[in-house]
Structure 1
Amino acid sequence: MALSYKARRRLALLVLVLGLPGYIVLAVSLVNLFERPSIWVEFGIYVGLGVLWAFPLKAVFKGIGQADPDAPPHDDHTD
């Protein structure tokens, strides 16, 4: 079952406000497990993890910036 537009907006907000900071803490903790890697290895890990989080959540964020497709048409024409 597909999520409604409102449900996707709420889920996207939840992911950005709670999930992403938690993921950042997890990524920093992962890098700290290594014995001070070189700057390029550390950079590669952060870039890889920075891109990796978005792939599973692509369906949640798709179309969130657009108008609600289920909303009734809005007449902007005023006389």
Structure 2
Amino acid sequence: MALTYKTRRRLSALILLVGLPVYIVLALSIVTWMGRPPIFVELLVYLVLGVLWALPFKYVFRGVGQADPDEDQ
């Protein structure tokens, strides 16, 4: 099932406004659970987690900032 542009736009806003803050708290909890590792390990964990959250939503975010392709001209 293909998502329409309007649905992808709403879903991306929901992900950014609700899902991302929850993911940030989760990432901070993971690093806290590790017990303050060395700075390079901590940086690596944040970099990996910072990229990892976007991979499942790559299709949802694709083309959202552009003009609506379904709109009649």
TM-score range, shorter chain: over 0.9
CA deviation string 1:20-73 (max 9, x = no partner): 000000000000111220011000000000000111100000000111111011
Which consecutive segments of 4 or more residues in structure 1 shift more than 3 A?
none
User: Who is 1:76 aligned against?
Assistant: none
- Identity fraction in percent: 60
Aligned alpha-carbon RMSD (Å): 0.5
- Paired residue for 2:4? 4
Provide TM-score, normalisation by structure 2. Answer: 0.97
Separation in 2, partners of 1:29, 1:71: 43
- Match for residue 63 of structure 1? 63
- Please list every run of 5 or more consecutive structure 1 residues that lacks an aligned counterpart in the other structure: 74-79
Equivalent-residue separation in structure 2 for 1:36 and 1:11 (angstroms): 35
* SS of equivalent residue, structure 1 residue 51: helix
TM-score normalised to structure 1 length: 0.90
Letter in 1 for 2:53: W
More helix by share: 2
User: Is the radius of gyration larger for structure 1 or structure 2?
Assistant: 1
